[in-house]
Structure 1
Amino acid sequence: MQIAVWDTYVERSNGARMHFDILVPAAIEDENQIYEYGEQYLKNKSFKTEALDSKRCNFCHIENASTEIEAAIRDKGFYILEMENCC
């Protein structure tokens, strides 16, 4: 499966900056849908964050999904790859 990688940064209430990727099927091009996936992810965090905005969530590239990521995308429609300050 080809996936689109959306590089995303969100400020936490403690001043730290979260960095994560939103991974979606490459055919999804609706930015509002991708931002909604990011907001769903943020709602499940145990800490407060600023809202996700288009200035800090940008298309990065297309790549092939691993088996694990492909399964998650088939189940939820998206996958979040946590990179910095996400816990």
Structure 2
Amino acid sequence: MGQTQTFRFPHTAGNWLRAFIAAVLAVAFFGLVLMFAAIFAAAALVVIGAAMVAGGAWWLWRKVRGRDNAKESDDPTILVARRGPSGWTVDGNDEPR
């Protein structure tokens, strides 16, 4: 027959050691989760910052370079200014671009 061991004293040294090891592992796991969260948050902030810098550079490039008139139309519009009775007038297309 087998022998069954019953724990009559629940606060033995082995139980305290198991509880201590479980607490250390729980704290270590919690610290690991917090560390991963901090690393992923920092990586996300780096990606967002790089995207903002790239967007700002693109916006500045578009502002400095200006609009590309060749894309809008191949023939340039020539405006003719004439002196009229009330001053100078410009004849041209009245359609908005």
Same fold (TM over 0.5): no
Greater C-alpha Rg: 2
Structure with bigger helix share is 2
Could you say which TM-score interval applies, normalised by the shorter chain?
A: under 0.3
TM superposition score normalised by structure 1: 0.20
Structure with bigger strand share is 1
TM superposition score normalised by structure 2: 0.18
- Structure scoring higher RCO (CA < 8 A, sep ≥ 6) equals 1
